[in-house]
Amino acid sequence: MAFAARKSATASKAATAKATGKKSSSTAATFSREEDVSAYREMLMIRRFEEKAGQMYGMGLIGGFCHLYIGQEAVVIGMQMASKGGDAVITGYRDHGHMLACGMDPKGVMAELTGRRGGLSKGKGGSMHMFSVEKHFYGGHGIVGAQVSLGTGLAFANHYRGNDNVSLTYFGDGASNQGQVYESFNMAELWKLPVVYIIENNRYAMGTSVSRASAQTDFSKRGLSFNIPGEQVDGMDVRAVKAAGERAVEWCRARKGPYILEMQTYRYRGHSMSDPAKYRSKDEVQKMREERDPIEQVRRRLIEDWKVGEDELKAIDAKVRDIVNEAAEFATNDPEPDPAELWTDILR
Amino acid sequence: MPIDVLMPALSPTMEKGNLAKWLKAEGDSIKPGDVIAEIETDKATMEVEAVDEGVLAKILVPAGTNDVAVNQKIAVIASEGEDASAVSAAGGASLPGQADPTPVAAAPKAAAAPVSAPQTQAALSAAGYDASGEIPAGTEMVTMTMREALRDAMAEEMRRDGDVFVMGEEVAEYQGAYKVTQGLLQEFGPRRVIDTPITEHGFAGIGVGAGLAGLKPIVEFMTFNFAMQAIDQIINSAAKTLYMSGGQMGCAIVFRGPNGAAARVGAQHSQDYTAWYSQIPGLLVISPSNAADAKGLMKAAIRNPNPVVFLENEILYGQSAPVPKDENFVLPIGKARIARPGKDVTIVSFSIGMTYALKAADELAKEGIEAEVIDLRTIRPMDVDTIIASVQKTGRCVTVEEGWPQSGVGAEIAAMLMDRAFDWLDAPVLRVTGKDVPMPYAANLEKLALPNVAEVVQAVRSVTYR
């Protein structure tokens, strides 16, 4: 409250709302038919892609670590709807959804998962390490929390160049306890860097629940001591995400500094493919899927509010399945990298 | 008893300084805490405070005197009840254990500090810099400290490329903890010369992020000891991203700062990280031994599109050497320098290790052993061809570094020579390194922990069977 009062002279309405720790209202944000259709298609794309990746992992086509984004789709799709071309995106290891949302080729992403030469990193990065200069996607980072300083650096570059692009820096509730996150918060606010810190609170840092790891479980308040505004957002409602994202992005573009969005979300699958998930009950997951699923929420709106016919929905589903199947087929049949690739791309 | 006022040291590595001015005159009475004089080095200025009460009886070193040795007697204070004029006479007459101050005092004020009075020389002698003719004869040279050479390199590259900026602790308003960034803020402003909080992990990551976005950051670590906080960003983010992205996204960044032991700063502030960084594919690692290399390689590092770890040395910062005046003087990364030609043994070193190597070579020459001294300059990629060519000539090799022995630079050179020059070796490769202990504080122990000239000489005698 002290912070809200202190800032209220200059802060926008959004900032004042956040500082009180209030949850942003999802009913305030409404979507047009086109927005709902688009959000549905994009989220379904991630869902089907990740389901396929899970299958292919089970078949031994994907190796190592593979962290699926299923359940969290509304976060990245809502944020993309709130951003504009040239905005930078960076995230941790649960990154397939972000790449697809940034418009990176599903075939290239899937072929990277299978370690093939047509992968976005020529098969040398893997699930956690893909990048796109063209789409302003800066990875894909495997060290928990490292992307927060890097994302702050992307904002630094925008600030240095004097453009109005922002950096969308994603990390989880687990990464939120890393020291460099707070080092970055401090400098971002000190230098008024245009970075939106998007904390994807999916409740579990691997197998450790938020309440077992965090002294302050309201992540929107994690920037308070640096005077960074924050708000908690229903991360299962793509409309709420987009609305909050717009407030945050606007704040950054107005050169007011960083902004924190705690996205309250949930991952349905394990931390990675090798997670036995003993730390939560099946009922908890089932309840979330039935009551809060981000894609089901939009699907219901499409049918009930927008009267979208079964045929149109089927057409969207079929299109998405085709793209995913095509990606899987490419990733299965594409050859492995040429052995000579071992020695390339170390220096330039 | 009259009280001697001695020339104080501003830093652990200071050996001499300039007595800029006296704030008290002979005959003035002095209380503890009074500022009596100002001294300066090329790095900093400091006030000398009186500790004792009395009368300033005699000034032994006049204002404007340059290169006054630390611990030289600069004034005498007569304590209460003493006759200042008698003390003055006595103080002026005898300076036990000190050089006669008269010549120092006679140095004209106009002969300013060497750092601010660049001397132009006709050319470098081959032995002084380079036996391979890297700098063409007749090149106009300016004598400057390594500190100034590094600063000039950064300033020139910042003038040339608006994407180059400097960030780090105390780099801007304080003018650099070791004064390497002196004047950059004044010329380039706070947008491009950025003071950071004390937060190495965070600002290294911000630097790498800015580098991934296409800027060319120079990230200064006040010392590389503190870069251990940031080493994840240096290795996992800066060095590996190009490979992990299949060549799509890289990071042009220079991480720089003093590395290795300074003097009497203890274990946590006295570590040589050369071997650590030299193990990492995706990094370039440079560690110059003199001002000319420092300038030419710093410019190369800033222009290079890859991440560069640039390891400087605090003790070398103040050492002067001739540097080509040409703004286009850029040295190749990955090329060693034959600092002294010889036929009997190859001594390979870098950075401050070169000090021991060259002095040892002088000693050995008196014994009739002609050592070829190679200054690696770049540790990664290492110029193995130059080392091998030399060993093919000499048949023997001694490495010199301040870092620890296990998995060190010398260990790598020894293994490489076993692999690629085994048939030419007439003796085992010997390593002269820092001792395998954390750096002690006590002066005698610290000296023992570091390599020295005698150890290099002994190692050479051993490999030449003398």
Q: Where are the beta strands (DSSP E) in B81-168?
A: 120-121, 141-145, 164-168
CATH number, domain with residue B260: 3.40.50.970
Residue B411 lies in a domain: yes
> Does the structure show a pLDDT above 90 at B437?
yes
Q: Does A347 touch chain B (CB under 8 A)?
A: yes
Residue of A99, A149, A168, A178 to mutate when probing chain B, most B C-beta within 10 A = A149
pLDDT of residue A279: 93
B238 and B153 in a common domain: yes
B373 and B406 in a common domain: yes
Among candidates A184, A187, A347 on the partner chain, residue whose Cβ is nearest the Cβ of B306:
A347
B341 and B320 in a common domain: no
Q: Which residues of A touch B246 (CB under 8 A)?
A: 119-125, 345
Tell which wins on pLDDT, B435 or B98: B435
B95 and B160 in a common domain: no
- Tell me the per-residue pLDDT of A171-210, one tens digit each, with 9 for 90 and over: 999 999 999 999 999 999 999 999 999 999 999 999 999 9
The whole-angstrom separation of Cα A125 and Cα B245 is: 6
Q: Does A92 touch chain B (CB under 8 A)?
A: no
B207 and B344 in a common domain: no
Residue B7 lies in a domain: yes
> Does the structure show a pLDDT above 60 at B130?
no
The whole-angstrom separation of Cα B464 and Cα B430 is: 11
User: Could you report the predicted ipTM of this complex, rounded to two decimals?
Assistant: 0.91
Q: Which helix (H) or strand (E) holds A102?
A: none
pTM reported for the whole predicted model? 0.88
> Does the structure show a pLDDT above 50 at B105?
no
Q: Which residues of A touch B245 (CB under 8 A)?
A: 120-121, 125, 129-131, 139, 345
- Tell me the per-residue pLDDT of B339-378, one tens digit each, with 9 for 90 and over: 999 999 999 999 999 999 999 999 999 999 999 999 999 9
B151 and B75 in a common domain: no
Residue B408 lies in a domain: yes
Residue B28 lies in a domain: yes
Could you state, in order of their start, the residue ranges of all structural domains in chain A? 2-18+42-333
Q: Tokens representing A234?
A: 């229903």
- Tell me the per-residue pLDDT of A39-91, one tens digit each, with 9 for 90 and over: 999 999 999 999 999 999 999 999 999 999 999 999 999 999 999 999 999 99
pLDDT of residue B196: 98
Residue B42 lies in a domain: yes
Confidence class for position B462, pLDDT limits 50, 70, 90:
very high
Domain A2-18+42-333: homologous superfamily in CATH: Thiamin diphosphate (ThDP)-binding fold, Pyr/PP domains (3.40.50.970)
Out of B300, B324, B348, a domain closes at B324
Is residue A109 within 8 A of residue A99, CB to CB? The reply is yes
Least confident window among A2-11, A103-112, B7-16: A2-11
Count CB atoms within 10 A of the CB of residue A315. Answer: 11
HEC string for B23-50: CCCCCCEECCCCEEEEEECCCCEEEEEC
Q: What share of chain B is helix, strand, coil (3-state, %, to 5)?
A: 35, 25, 45
**Residue A48 in 3-state DSSP?**
helix
Out of B275, B292, B324, a domain closes at B324
Give A157's strand partners: none
Nearest Cα residue to B211 out of B245, B250, B156:
B250
Q: Tokens representing A274?
A: 């090798």
Q: DSSP character for A132?
A: B
B81 and B12 in a common domain: yes
- Tell me the per-residue pLDDT of A5-31, one tens digit each, with 9 for 90 and over: 333 333 344 444 444 445 554 445 799
CATH number, domain with residue B83: 2.40.50.100
Which domain range does residue B32 map to?
3-106
CATH number, domain with residue B351: 3.40.50.920
B156 and B40 in a common domain: no
The whole-angstrom separation of Cα A146 and Cα A178 is: 9
Out of B303, B324, B345, a domain closes at B324
Q: Which residues of A touch B205 (CB under 8 A)?
A: 146, 148-150, 152-153, 180, 183-184
B313 and B387 in a common domain: no
Residue B332 lies in a domain: no
Q: How far is B333 from chain A (nearest CA, A)?
A: 13
B155 and B40 in a common domain: no
HEC string for B234-252: HHHHHHCHHHHCCCCCCCC
Q: How many domains does chain B have?
A: 3
Q: Does A342 touch chain B (CB under 8 A)?
A: no
Residue B432 lies in a domain: yes
> Does the structure show a pLDDT above 80 at B256?
yes
* Identity of the residue numbered B244: M
B92 and B155 in a common domain: no
pLDDT of residue B118: 37
